[in-house]
């Protein structure tokens, strides 16, 4: 059974930083694409960052230069380092991992950025 667990969310002031973590069980992260999504209040879920099995990365334009996705295959964990946070980054953040043709999801972690 695949399970993804996020951690690291919280309340931070604008300009601050947070690091989200996603740890997996029942799935080997090193062989798969991994991603972070977010869902702001009242809006649709959107892709924030993606890292391929070969560690190439892609980012939403709104977070380029501020967020960094990375992976630690030895820990079966991947991360989203978020710097220079803005109130517009307030959302529930979800990690996601692909295995075969299916994407699996974590339960989400709240990030709130105060102005």
The tens digit of pLDDT for each residue in 78-101 reads: 999 999 999 999 999 999 999 889
Q: How far apart are CA 76 and CA 91, in angstroms?
A: 25
Contact in structure between 87 and 14 (CB atoms under 8 Å):
yes
Q: Are strands 34-39 and 3-7 parallel, antiparallel or unpaired?
A: unpaired
Render pLDDT for 21-57 as a digit per residue (tens, 0 to 9). Answer: 999 999 988 888 999 999 999 999 999 999 998 889 9
Please state the rounded mean pLDDT for residues 103-108.
96
Beta-sheet pairing, 67-72 with 10-13: unpaired
pLDDT for position 12:
98
């Amino acid at each position: 059974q695949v399970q993804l667990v996020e951690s690291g969310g919280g309340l931070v002031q604008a300009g601050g930083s947070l690091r989200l973590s996603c740890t997996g069980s029942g799935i080997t992260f090193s062989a798969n694409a991994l991603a972070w999504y977010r869902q702001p209040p009242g809006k649709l879920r959107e892709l924030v960052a993606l890292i391929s099995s070969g560690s190439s990365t892609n980012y939403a334009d709104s977070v380029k230069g501020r967020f960094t996705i990375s992976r630690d295959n030895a820990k079966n964990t991947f991360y989203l380092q978020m710097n220079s946070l803005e109130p517009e980054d307030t959302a529930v953040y979800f990690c996601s991992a692909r295995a075969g043709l299916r994407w699996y999801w974590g339960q989400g972690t709240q990030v709130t950025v105060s102005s």
